[in-house]
Structures are given as structure tokens and as C-alpha cells.
Amino acid sequence: MNKKIILLFTLSLLVFTFLLGCSQDTSTPDNTSEKKSVITTSTMITDLAQVIANGSDNVTITGIMGPGIDPHLYKPTAGDAELMQKSHLIVYNGLHFEGQMGQLFKQMKSRGIPTISLADSMKDYEGVSFIETDEFGGTHDPHMWFDIPIWKGAAKVMKDALIELDPQNKTLYESNAKVYLEELDQLASYVQNRLKELPVESRVLITAHDAFNYFGRMYDFDVRGVQGISTEAEAGTRDIKDLADFIVERKIGAIFVEASVPRKNIEALQAAVKAQGFNVEIGGELLSDSLSEPGGEADTYLKMIRYNVDTIVNAIQSN
């Protein structure tokens, strides 16, 4: 083990120890307080919690990851640890999506704070099938929200968690969930109708990282990413060359950047294609691991899925 690796390991250990130290406050959540604090991780999960809790005066929803944040790379802060320590419920994605927060979730569970992984809570649901991957030492692809039926399961888990936390508003949470599930069915119909505009042979989606495999499985797309499922994986020269060869061979007209992932790899891929005498356009920016800023055209889950599908269909049709 060289000195650089030893230094990095030591720094990581010190940061983690600091965070856990910040969470060692022996105080517990105030269960007599009128409002219960719910902490969520990604913007998609925060949106889901806000939808199901809409109209309740008994809970507050706080998301620790803002728009544009890459959850794969997110490093928890002392402030995050403090928020979690004082919360009544923590809800996260799971499947290593929040890659550097695993120990913090375990710490909160050990302190008796309900800490729920949406993926773990759904793994035995009928009809829920997670995509296997060799990354993370062999587990499943975490980008499950691109499968609308799975996201319907996530809505049910969120509803049940809020009812457990705040049974006084059970009827409200059940009503909100019922309406949202109907909206998800309408969204699924919209997606199906838009994608019918594309012939099967045109259904190739190339993005910055492998976030769209659930989308590909649902709608028969050949999905390729410059990086792997996690943005922690670095794209090498060979990865870019192989993907450039594929684009030239298939004469693919559009590739896509992602809002929460740097553009450099896609731009390098575009240059590698051009070096072979073929031009491929950047068809637009997709939302993968985060919603857009509040007020943006993709600032909710429902809007994000519509935005992505419209961007993909329009770009493929025009190229």
C-alpha cells in the first residue's frame, strides 16, 4: 500500500469518525412535539414525501440533497448527522445509491431512529424486480425510479411510513397516495404514447452514466453509458473508443448529457466520433439522479419523467 493510498484512507476515516462524533449527542427526538421531522435524501424521494404528506400539519419534510447533487458522490456533513439525530424518520433510496452514507444510516438505526430504505422495503413486493449489476460488489441497479410501477411501490412504502409516524392523519396520507398512484398511471400512459412515435430500431439511448437501465427494460431501449451505474466509476479511453465505434457503426444521431454529471465525458465521446468522420449531436440534457431547481421544468418526479421522454423522443426524431 503506497503512501497516497494510506493518506486517503486515513483522511476518510477521520471524516467518518468526525461525523459519527457529531451524531453522538445523547438527546433523542422530541416525540411529544406537535410536528414530526422526516429526513429524506435525493430530490426524488423528497418530492415523493412531500406529495404523500401534502396538507399535513404534523410533519416537516427536509431533503439533505438539493437539485443538481450527485447522490453517488455525496459526502454527508456534520449538519446532516445532526438533522438525522433529531429526526423522527429517515427515508433513503438504498441499493448503494447514497454510496457514502451507509455507515451513517446504520448509526441512526442503532440509535432507534426509524431509517427506511425504499428498495429494501419493496424487495418482496409482487411485480417488483430490480436489475442486477456487478458493481458495488454485486447487488442491484439503484435507479429504480425510472420504472414507474416500482415507483408506485415506493409511494406505498412512503404512505405506510408516514401513517406509522403520524396515525392521526392516516386518511389524508391514504387519500394523497391514491391520487398520486392515479397520476403515475396517467404518466405511464403518456410515456407509452410518446415512445410509440419511435421505431424499435431507433430506440438507442446513450448517456453520461448508466442511469437509464430501468427505462431501457420498460420500453425496449438499448441503453449505454459512458460511465457505469455509479458515477464513482471512471470512464477510460477504451470505454469512450468502444462507445464511439458503436455510434459510428449504428449511425446514431444523438447522445445525451445529464444535469448532475459533468459534460466532459460526453463531449469526449462526441469528439471521438467526429475523429472517425461521423457527427453525433448532443440531443439535450436529461435529469437522472436529481430533479431540476424549484420552478424548473422538471422539478417534480412527474415532470422529470415527462421532460426526459420528450427530450429523448424529440432528439431522436430530429437526428
pLDDT in tens, 184-231: 999 999 999 999 999 999 999 999 988 999 999 999 999 999 987 876
CATH code for the domain in which residue 175 is found: 3.40.50.1980
Question: How much is the pLDDT for 29?
Answer: 56
Question: How much is the pLDDT for 237?
Answer: 81
On whether both 168 and 231 belong to a single domain, the answer is no
C-alpha cell at 188: 405511464
On whether both 271 and 180 belong to a single domain, the answer is no
Question: How much is the pLDDT for 137?
Answer: 72
Helix (H) or strand (E) holding 311: helix 301-318
The span from the CA of 116 to the CA of 154, in Å, is: 11
Question: How much is the pLDDT for 3?
Answer: 41
On whether both 26 and 79 belong to a single domain, the answer is yes
Question: Residue 142: which domain range?
Answer: 3-188
Number of domains in the chain: 2
Helix (H) or strand (E) holding 180: helix 170-195
On whether both 222 and 103 belong to a single domain, the answer is no
Question: How much is the pLDDT for 134?
Answer: 83
On whether both 9 and 79 belong to a single domain, the answer is yes
On whether both 37 and 158 belong to a single domain, the answer is yes
Stretches where the chain sits below pLDDT 50 are 1-19, 22-26, 32
Question: How much is the pLDDT for 11?
Answer: 44
On whether both 143 and 39 belong to a single domain, the answer is yes
pLDDT in tens, 48-71: 999 999 999 999 999 999 999 999
pTM of the model: 0.89
C-alpha cell at 8: 486517503
Which of 188, 212, 230 represents a domain boundary (last residue)? 188
Question: How much is the pLDDT for 123?
Answer: 86
On whether both 72 and 182 belong to a single domain, the answer is yes
Question: How much is the pLDDT for 16?
Answer: 47
On whether both 206 and 272 belong to a single domain, the answer is yes
Q: Reduced to 3 states, what is the DSSP secondary structure of residue 219?
A: helix
On whether both 207 and 255 belong to a single domain, the answer is yes
Assess contact for 125 and 101: CB atoms under 8 A.
no
Which of 135, 155, 188 represents a domain boundary (last residue)? 188
Question: How much is the pLDDT for 256?
Answer: 97
Backbone angles phi, psi at 193, to 5 degrees: -65, -40
